[in-house]
């Protein structure tokens, strides 16, 4: 009697497993082709056990920590073909070719587009976890140059960010000094210097004679005597 009951129970369990509805089978999504980093192109993928008339794929790319809907913000759901295949353009402008991560979510076609859009946020819309039945993501690494003259790097509209390095000594610039004198501009100013004294009443040694060709005289547009500006240095007096 006990053996018969055990066999009957096994038959019931087996019948229940075979009677499972196709709608309750595991749904999945995966990429079959992704363009290499730094290049433009489409992503291709396949969806299993999903009704294409009721579901589509929401594509996203992550560029330097920001999420973006693809292919367009106005139409965020990519259709699924009858065989489960899908394709979407992930490079539509800006630095899309530098995307590090590509993500795909299977969502109902009647999903409100406003709840699953991403336009530069630091994370994907929270509603995706509520409405999606399957999702996948792929990391594109390393990020390479778009071409030889335009590398993939985060843009900064405020200009170059200064780099601060801890532990390095400050840069010290050593200025040259006169041989045999103390390294101080105040000391050097009081040291003996020699120079050719100009004629009395002028600051230069004489007139600057310009060359002439032929017999046509030319008028100079500058004074022959140049007055040197006065310079001084020292410390402020104590008040």
3-state SS of 114-155? HHCCCEEECCCCCCHHHHCCEEEEEECCCCCCCECCECCCCC
Per-residue pLDDT band at 21 (split at 50, 70, 90): very low
Residue 170 in any domain: the answer is no
Q: Across residues 2-22, what is the average pLDDT?
A: 58
Contact 239, 195 (CB under 8 A): no
Residue 37 is predicted with a pLDDT of 85
**What backbone torsions phi and psi does residue 200 show, to the nearest 5 degrees?**
-55, 135
Q: Across residues 105-110, what is the average pLDDT?
A: 96
Residue 192 in any domain: the answer is no
Closest by CA position to 74, among listed 114, 30, 17 = 114
Residue 235 in any domain: the answer is no
Residue 40 is predicted with a pLDDT of 83
Per DSSP, 5 falls in state: H
Residue 6 in any domain: the answer is no
Question: CA geometry: angle at 49 spanning 20 and 56, to 5°?
Answer: 135
Number of domains in the chain: 1
Residue 35 in any domain: the answer is yes
Residue 47 is predicted with a pLDDT of 96
CB atoms within 10 A of CB 188: 13
Is the pLDDT at 60 greater than 60? The verdict is yes
Q: What is the CATH number of the domain that holds 65?
A: 2.60.40
Residue 24 is predicted with a pLDDT of 40
Contact 86, 47 (CB under 8 A): yes
* Domain, as residue range, for 85: 25-139
Residue 72 in any domain: the answer is yes
Taking only the tens place, the pLDDT of each residue in 173-203 is: 555 555 565 655 555 555 555 666 666 665 5
Residue 97 in any domain: the answer is yes
Contact 88, 61 (CB under 8 A): no
pTM of the model: 0.54
Residue 232 in any domain: the answer is no
Residue 25 is predicted with a pLDDT of 45
């Amino acid at each position: 009697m006990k053996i018969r009951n055990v066999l009957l129970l096994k038959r019931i369990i087996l019948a229940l497993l075979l009677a499972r509805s196709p709608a309750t089978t595991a749904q999945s999504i995966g990429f079959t082709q992704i363009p290499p980093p730094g290049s433009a192109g489409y992503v291709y993928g396949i969806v299993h056990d999903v009704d294409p008339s009721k579901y589509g794929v929401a594509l996203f790319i992550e560029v330097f920590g920001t999420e973006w809907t693809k292919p367009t913000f106005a139409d965020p759901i990519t259709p699924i073909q009858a065989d489960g295949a899908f394709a979407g353009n992930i490079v539509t402008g800006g630095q899309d070719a530098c995307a590090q991560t590509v993500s795909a979510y299977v969502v109902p076609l009647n999903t409100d587009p406003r709840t699953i859009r991403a336009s530069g946020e630091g994370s994907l819309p929270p509603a995706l976890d509520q409405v999606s039945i399957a999702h996948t993501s792929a990391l594109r690494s390393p990020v390479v140059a778009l071409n030889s003259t335009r590398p993939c790097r985060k843009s900064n509209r405020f200009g170059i960010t200064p780099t601060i390095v801890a532990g390095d000594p400050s840069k010290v610039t050593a200025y040259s000094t006169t041989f045999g004198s103390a390294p101080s501009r105040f000391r050097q100013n009081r040291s003996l210097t020699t120079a050719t004294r100009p004629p009395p009443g002028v600051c230069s040694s004489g007139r600057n004679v310009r060359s002439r060709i032929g017999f046509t005289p030319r008028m100079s547009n500058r004074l022959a005597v140049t007055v040197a500006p006065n310079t001084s240095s020292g410390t402020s007096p104590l008040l």
